[in-house]
Amino acid sequence: MLLAPDAQITRRVLYTNSESDFAIQKIRTANSYELNTLARETLAKVESRLDIKLTSRRGISPILATLLLIVIAVAAIVVTYAWIMTYTTTVTGGANLGVMSITKYNATAYIIDVKNLGTANATVEKIRIAGSAGNTGWKSLPDGNTLIPTGASRTLDTGNVGIDFSVGDTVTVSVRTTLPSEFSSKLTLEG
């Protein structure tokens, strides 16, 4: 325990004016050993004036300490979970897009049916189709961004994606919104 050089409380409570001037001078010129000794002396004076013992060695049992740590850890987990859920809802804005179907209409062009199952409007920005024939990478929609209101469905034309998937292939269709949030579904390619 170290004392502050100009501790006003120490000056008023522990010492008379002459004692405080002496103690402050002693603190300013003391090395660490002397400061520790001075701290012990000051603590003894406080204990004697307040008639209490500040160095009690009693503590809580190890079982109570363990239970307390467990309760604190569980509370921290609950708070973190609540914060993450609030953050993700805020970021995604309550949008939840479901890719309902994918249909091939040209050698490398597809039509995707998307429905907004969430509680907020979503604007589709890009799509990606992945399967055994490869991955298209993220492609912007040829018609630009498409707004899908809550509860509504939209048919999105991918245009030429450059990869020829076969009818009956299982592909993963991912849709990215402007937030950005990504929604994926594994579907069988229809013809």
pLDDT of the chain along its 191 residues, tens only? 454 554 444 444 444 455 555 556 666 666 777 777 777 887 777 777 766 555 556 777 889 899 999 999 999 999 999 888 877 765 555 778 889 999 988 888 889 999 988 888 888 888 888 887 777 778 888 777 888 888 889 998 888 888 888 888 899 998 888 877 888 888 888 87
88 shares a domain with 104? no
Report if residue 3 sits inside a domain.
no
Confidence at residue 28, expressed as pLDDT on a 0 to 100 scale:
61
Confidence at residue 69, expressed as pLDDT on a 0 to 100 scale:
94
101 shares a domain with 85? no
pTM over 0.75: no
Report if residue 1 sits inside a domain.
no
80 shares a domain with 104? no
Report if residue 136 sits inside a domain.
yes
Torsion of CA 137, 141, 145, 146, to 10 degrees: -110
88 shares a domain with 24? no
Q: Find out whether 154 and 186 touch, Cβ atoms under 8 Å.
A: no
132 shares a domain with 183? yes
Dist CA 170 CA 172 (whole Å):
7
User: How far is C-alpha 162 from the chain's CA centre?
Assistant: 38
Give every CB contact of residue 130 below 8 A, 6+ residues apart in sequence. 136, 171, 172, 174
Specify whether the backbone of 94 is left (phi greater than 0), alpha (psi in -120 to 50) or beta. Answer: left
166 shares a domain with 147? yes
| Three-state DSSP state, 96 | coil
Dist CA 101 CA 110 (whole Å):
10
154 shares a domain with 86? no
74 shares a domain with 120? no
Joined together, the tokens standing for residue 180 give 């950005």
The total number of structural domains in the chain stands at 3
140 shares a domain with 124? yes
Whole domain around residue 82: which residue ranges? 59-92
Nearest to 154 by CA among 111, 191, 188: 111
Joined together, the tokens standing for residue 129 give 């189709």
Nearest to 113 by CA among 153, 63, 167: 153
39 shares a domain with 85? no
Report if residue 87 sits inside a domain.
yes
Nearest to 103 by CA among 117, 93, 113: 113
Confidence at residue 9, expressed as pLDDT on a 0 to 100 scale:
41
